[in-house]
Amino acid sequence: MLKVSGEAFAGDAGYGIDGDIVGSIAQTIADARSRFDVSIAVVVGGGNIWRGLSGAGAGMDRAQADYMGMLATVINGLALQEFLERLNVPTRVQTAIEMQEIAEPYIRRRAIRHLEKDRVVIFAGGTGNPFFTTDTAAALRANEIDAEVLLKGTHSGIDGIYTADPKLDSTATKLDSVTYLDVLSKNLRAMDATATTLCMDNELPIVLFDLMGGDNVNRILAGESVGTIVAG
Q: What is the pLDDT of residues 191-215, one digit of tens each?
A: 899 999 999 999 999 999 999 877 9
Element (H, E) at 154: strand 150-154
Backbone angles phi, psi at 96, to 5 degrees: -75, -20
Q: What is the pLDDT at residue 172?
A: 86
Q: Report the candidate in 116, 141, 118 with the shortest Cα–Cα distance to residue 128.
A: 141
Residue 174, number of CB atoms within 10 A of its CB: 13
> What sign for the dihedral angle of Cα 155, 159, 164, 170?
negative
Q: What is the pLDDT at residue 29?
A: 96
Q: Angle 205-209-210 (CA atoms, 0-180°, nearest 5)?
A: 160
Q: What is the pLDDT at residue 155?
A: 78
C-alpha to C-alpha distance for 115 and 225, rounded to whole angstroms: 26
Q: Which residues of the chain have pLDDT under 50?
A: none
Q: What is the pLDDT at residue 56?
A: 67
Q: What is the pLDDT at residue 222?
A: 93
- 168 close to 182: Cβ distance less than 8 angstroms: no
Q: Which CATH architecture is the domain 2-231 placed in?
A: 3-Layer(aba) Sandwich (3.40)
H helices, E strands: number in the chain = 9, 11
C-alpha to C-alpha distance for 101 and 146, rounded to whole angstroms: 28
Helix, strand, coil percentages for the chain (3-state, nearest 5): 40, 15, 40
- pLDDT, one tens digit per residue, over 43-56 is 999 999 987 667 66
